Each structure stands twice: as structure tokens, then as C-alpha cells.
Structure 1
């Protein structure tokens, strides 16, 4: 099977860590199409200084797919402390330097992939310097990924519409080719409005997804996100994904059913986050196949999808589809 994972942030890198175990066996080809609209932290500073696509999520995916020694992985994630380099990740600086040397962000990613011996291909959603914009239910327009989440959190307003500036950006031809050849397209987990949906705001990418005959899977977040999905249930995530992506349908929605432990849940609630309610019946009524299972782990007191459980489920979902298709043909 050929798998394309679409998204960004920690959600995408978590998924890739699980899927890479299957490369060379069940997974013939693994690719990640990654958002490059991040505006915060080290990434945001480098974007302003060098006018390049955001390198942060690319770096995380490189490390997630890496089969190199742990020291190299740690090096790419190392953050400088103090002086003018304070907060910068080594991997971000490395990608910026390679881009300057080669004259190509794609070449920089390919060279970094060779160094880290990644078990999959990482493709930015666009090679252009783009910004994410959003209008909120109170009419306010906010520019910048980090600023969008901040405004929503501080003002408790919901996103009404999102778009990219410039709006006519193009994806790399490699991204289109991977989508066209895919057997499975996975969206999420990750920040719905700032990591997953920005990829589908690129017209050519969105059109390629619409044309694709691949199994289209949405992995719903385990917890709500302040400033983005406050109060959202699983069904709300599903509907918002379709509405803002302009896609007509999904084949499968994956929902976590496990509650975090009480001490971890308490900390999240204090930060304005709560478990996403798994109202799977509402999704199923729309003709979508729903997989509702125990999918989270609590490593280091964080509520995140367990990479192995999620990857195992996605492999099983595809195998069941193939079995059903065979039975249908018979």
C-alpha cells in the first residue's frame, strides 16, 4: 500500500513514527505532505529573516522518520540557549543553511533526509512563503498561524473562515504525484485549523485529493485545542474539516474513546482543554465508516495518540477495505 499523511505539528510526526515500522512490508511507499505556514518560535523568526517556507514541522517529520543514530536525531531537535540563537532548533538552522547553499528548499529536505536516513519522503505543501489567515465569528481578521490560535484562545471566538495569502500558491509536483498514486490518504491528528486544513487551502492539492480514489481517513484529535476547537465533539471536527476543506466526503473517521487518567485530565482542564466527545453515531449516520478505539498514550503526562496503536489501526482499516472490495467483486 502507498500511504500519504497530510498535516503538520506533533500530530503528524507522531503518526509517522508509527507508520515507519511498516515501510518495506505492508507500506510500499510512505510520504508526508507538510504545512509550511507556521509563524511562531524559531520557525517564525527564520521565515521573517530568510523569506522561506516554515522549516519547523519539516524538521519534526525528518526526525520522526529517521533511522539514523539517536545522537543525530537529538542534534536536529537541539535548541540553543542564550545569545542571538536562543530558542532556535539546530535542524531549522540546518535546513535554512542548506536552502541557501543549494538554492532550493526541496533540495535541502532531500539532503537532510539522506543524512537522517528517513524511511519515507517529506514534501512541503508549497515551496512559497505563505501566511495563514482567519476571520472569526466576531468579524476580526487575524494573520499568522500562531496569532490565530492566540486570538481564539484569548477572546473565546470560533474560526469562521481560513485562507492563505497569497491564495494562488502552487504545491510541488511531487506532492500531486504522491496523492494521485496513493492507496490511503490520512489527515491528522493535529491542530485542525492550523496544521491539517492549511494544506487543503492550496487549490491544486485540494483538487488532487478530490480526484483521488484513495481511502480518505480523518484522525480526530483526542483533546480539544484552546483557540481552535473549544467545545468541539468528534462530529464537529468532521463537519469543520469538510466545510473548510471543501471536500465532499471522507471514507473513514478515526476517534479515540479512552479517557486520560484523572491527574493528567485535571492539568489539561486547567489549561482549557477537554477530551473530544466521541459522538460517533452522528458521523456514522452520514455514511462514514467510524473506528472508535482506545488510541492514546500518556507518555510524559501528555495526551497524544500512541504511534503504534494508531498505525496498527490504519493498516487494519486498509486491509479490511481490500478484503471487502475482493468480496464485492466476487
Structure 2
């Protein structure tokens, strides 16, 4: 019997509650493996993206950027693969009007107008797509990501911030002009899921543009620091241009703690697998630089438990997390928390 099968047998009937917070391509990888492990999975997805098809749609109709939400819905859906392939289909460049747009993005945008908001739209679409779990936008309105750099300058917009290639000091989120004034807030369901979780997982994803935009929503960040759940950070394997150049794994956690003004990360998952020299296609993955350096002493000084292993998956000349191995560790931690709660 494999380790993965042992986890399924032990956890079945209890369904540990796992909340994953982030955005980008790493989130669906973890969610797919959590679904295979019979977890009660909730994805809280960033709404501060301003690039690609998502950004174009947002510019035209002021809707929350749908791309990350689309990919998460697919990762948790029980629909046949052909239906999911249609939902994911992206029009080719010679289709002038629809060029570059994914069909799923257009559907999410339409439902957002029909339901008067992205949150209800995603809940309706989750039912239609037979989603196994929960998908929650981090906020019910589109947010703008703001950054202050160490040289004192500031920029607005995820793509602008990354392209600046400056050292980021602090990020925060604001509502767009069309959505009124006041601080953005997360919906009650988002907060309830975090407070009821066994584990809350941050990442994997871009530190400043996929993870922190969620935590900078005030009531969401407060929930992550106040929950009794184990807070797990999946450290990126590679550093990223314009975000984490020259960062160690301890630097990642330090930035998270500084933004929420306390040491709140309980466990860090760190990859120790070696990326072969000259394997990465830097033209295809042009935002990726080099492997994150390890600083285990620094992590321990920040109060973190460190779980290190070869979490590496190499494919298509890209570097990714092995979802199954990462989720095995998450499920082990979830079981420990679940057991401790029942023993209180």
C-alpha cells in the first residue's frame, strides 16, 4: 500500500478542511492532487490580475479578472474532459475579435454581469461545472495591486510592477475607481472557510502578485493570522524577475510576516531537488531566474517548522512542484491538526 493510499484510508470520513490561497499556475496543481486525496478543498483566488485575456476583459467591462478562477474551476470540476477542454479553449490570433481570449473567461465575465458580482457568478458556475470543493474569489470586486519600491517610487498594476525590475518593499490592494471608495473586504464565506480550516496553504505562486494581494485584504489577512489552522507556505522553487530576485526561502517568509506584522507561518515546504543545468527554457519561462537558495537557520529563527524534500517535477523544459508529493505533506499535517482538534 502506497503512502498516498494510506492517507486516503485514514482521512476518509473526516475530510480535513484545506484552504489554499493564491493565484497563477501553481494553485490548480495543488488543488487537483487535493481532490484525489479526498480533501474538503477550498480555493481562495486572487482578483488583482491585470494581464493577458483577463486584463483585456477587465479593461473593457470592469469585471474581476477571470483567468485564475477559470483554471481553479477546471482543476476541481467533475465534468468530462472534452467539456473542460472547450471551457479552456483559447481563440487563435487570426480570430481578430476573440483573439487570445479563453471561452471560460468570457463565460465568467457574462455570469458576473448576470449575477451582479463575481462571487455569486463563481458559485453558480461551480454548480454548473460540478466542482468538488469550493472556489471563492478573494473579493467581490476587481482590485488594483499597488507597490512601493525600496527607492521610494510607487506603481499600480501587477504587470507594471513586475516589469519595473525594482526591489519591492511593500504591496497593498485598493478598489478600482468604478467600485467606489473604502477598503476592499472578503465575503463572509471566505472568512468562515479560513477560520474552520485544518490547514491554510499559501501558494505556490508569485509572492508579491499572487499570494500577498489576497492577504492584503484586511479581514482576510486577519483571519489567516487568527485561525487555529496550521498555516503552510509552499516556497517557490525558482526566483522570479521583478519580484524575488536573490531571495532565499527565509526572505519569502520574512516578507509575508512583515506585511501581516507578525510571525504567522507555521510550516514551510522547501524543495531540495536539483534543477539540472541548462534544463529551463528561459524564452518560454522568461520570468524565471534561478533556484531559490536555502536558509534553514533563518526559517527556524522565524519560528517555522521546515519540511524539505525533492518536490521537483521537470516537464516541457519547465520547473514545477510535484503536486502529489506536496499534497502528501499537506494531508499529513491536516491529519495531525484534525486529530489534535478531536482530542481537545
Deviation at 1:317, TM superposition (A): 2.5
Alignment of 1:50-65 (within 5 A): 50-65=61-76
Cα shift at 1:129 = 2.1
Q: Per-residue deviation at 1:249?
A: 2.2
**What residue number does 1:150 align with?**
163
Deviates more, 1:100-109 or 1:265-274: 265-274
For residues 85-96 of structure 1, the aligned pairs below 5 Å read 85-96=98-109
Aligned to 2:46: 35
Consecutive unaligned residues in structure 2, runs of 5 or more: 1-15, 176-181
Question: Alignment partner for residue 173 of structure 2, among 158, 164, 176?
Answer: 164
Counterpart-to-counterpart distance in 2, 1:89 and 1:248: 39
Alignment match, 2:84: 73
TM-score by length of 2: 0.87
Where is the helix percentage greater, Structure 1 or Structure 2? 1
SS in 1 for 2:289: coil
Is 1:46 aligned to residue 69 of structure 2?
no
Q: Are the equivalent residues in 1 in contact too, given 2:281–2:317 (CA < 8 A)?
A: no
Number of residue equivalences = 320
* Partner in structure 1 of residue 332 of structure 2: 316
CA distance in 2, matches of 1:12, 1:188: 7
Gaps of 5+ in 1: none
Partners of 2:28 and 2:75 within 8 A in 1 = yes
Q: Could you say which residue in structure 1 is the equivalent of 2:309?
A: 293
**Superposition RMSD on alpha carbons, in Å?**
2.1
- Compared CA separation, residues 96 and 214, structure 1 to 2 (3 A): same
Give the structure 1 partner of residue 5 of structure 2: none
115-124 or 243-252: bigger deviation: 243-252
Partners of 1:136 and 1:91 in 2: CA distance: 35
Q: TM-score when scaled to structure 1? A: 0.91
Q: Is this contact kept in 2: 1:8–1:195, CA < 8 A?
A: yes
The aligned counterpart of 2:8 is none
Shift of 1:322: 5.5
Q: Which residue of 2 aligns with 1:254?
A: 269
Alpha-carbon distance change, 110 to 249 in structure 1, aligned in 2, over 3 angstroms: closer
Match runs of 1:1-330 below 5 Å: 1-23=16-38, 27=39, 29-81=40-92, 82-152=95-165, 157-166=166-175, 168-265=183-280, 267=282, 273-321=289-337, 325=340
